Structure 1
Amino acid sequence: MDWFLKALKKYSTFSGRAQRAEYWYFVLFYLLIILCASVVDGVTGLYQADIGAGLFGSLAFWGLLIPSISVGVRRLHDTGRSGWWMLLWVVPLVGTIAWLVFTLQDSTPGANEYGPNPKETPI
């Protein structure tokens, strides 16, 4: 939970680096929040099948959109890649697989053009 809150505190910071743990814990809690919001939408009858979304699910998605993009960009920076690699999501299947490989890779050792390695920086 601390990693998720750490990512939320830097919700609009697109510079710097994010460790694997920060990124994947953010993804985990993001998915849990979306799932819970969708369940609440279904139980309360706020889910609209014609648009495929509900009130709480939509609020959670739009509320966490900028933080999810920023933590993704920082994760790419940690592997030594530009944030523009986020556009891989546009390419079906191949883009998703490449994105998964990039986010699972370890940090580049030492400092890179995006800042010092967060693993080596004392908190």
Structure 2
Amino acid sequence: MKWFFKCIRNYVNFSGRARRTEFWYFILFSCLLLIVAMALDVVCFNTPYGVFYLLVALFLFLPQLAVSARRLHDTGRTSKWLLWNYLALLVWAVAALVLSGLSAFAGGRDASAWFLIVLCGGCVLFFIWEIVFLVWFCLPGTPGENRYGPDPKQPDQEKSAPESV
């Protein structure tokens, strides 16, 4: 639980490194919170994605983004990969919406076929890309200091060094 609160406190800290423990405990407790929010929405509003889910998801978005960036830093990768991921998702969603509108407006087979190609192709590509992210998040961090900061697993050198008499 301390890792979850550490990520909440560092919700806009996109620099430095995050251990696997910090990242995965944050993901675990985030999922549990989202499940509780969904249950509350089902009880109160008879839908799993209601007000409670939306509020919890919005509350957790920035901390999740920050801990993901720090986790990528721990593996020696830039957090720009996350930016490219979200930009590609946005472009894909806009393209799917535009083609959906075209297929509804034109009523032709060409627009419907392109809509299905963009929709299915995007789903497959994002599924593969998210597997790449999953592998990166599961890899151990680079040992020692890297360009993003000191190794979070290593104790401070000054504290562990024996005092000279």
TM-score norm. by structure 1 comes to 0.90
SS where residue 150 of structure 2 aligns? Answer: coil
Where does the alignment leave 5 or more consecutive residues of structure 1 unmatched? none
Partner residue of 1:110 out of 144, 157, 160: 144
The alpha carbon displacement at 1:9 in A equals 1.0
Q: Percent identity?
A: 40
In the alignment of these two chains, the number of paired residues is 119
Pairwise mapping of residues 85-100 of structure 1 onto structure 2 (< 5 A)?
85-86=81-82, 87-88=84-85, 90=89, 91-100=125-134
Larger relative contact order, structure 1 or 2 (CA cutoff 8 Å, min sep 6): 1
Q: Deviations over 1:87-121 (max 9, x none)?
A: 34644111111000000000101000000000003
The alpha carbon displacement at 1:28 in A equals 0.3
TM-score norm. by structure 2 comes to 0.68
Letter in 2 for 1:68: Q
Q: Deviations over 1:32-55 (max 9, x none)?
A: 0001000000001263xxxx7200
SS where residue 34 of structure 2 aligns? Answer: helix
Larger radius of gyration: 2
SS where residue 152 of structure 2 aligns? Answer: coil
Are residue 67 (structure 1) and residue 101 (structure 2) matched? no
Are residue 53 (structure 1) and residue 87 (structure 2) matched? no
Are residue 26 (structure 1) and residue 22 (structure 2) matched? no
2:35 equivalent in structure 1: 35
Is the 1:4–1:29 Cα contact (8 Å) retained in structure 2? yes
Letter in 2 for 1:95: W
Where does the alignment leave 5 or more consecutive residues of structure 2 unmatched? 90-124, 160-165
Is the 1:3–1:26 Cα contact (8 Å) retained in structure 2? yes
More helix as a share of residues: 2
> Partners in 2 of 1:115 and 1:72 — Cα distance?
15
Are residue 80 (structure 1) and residue 114 (structure 2) matched? no
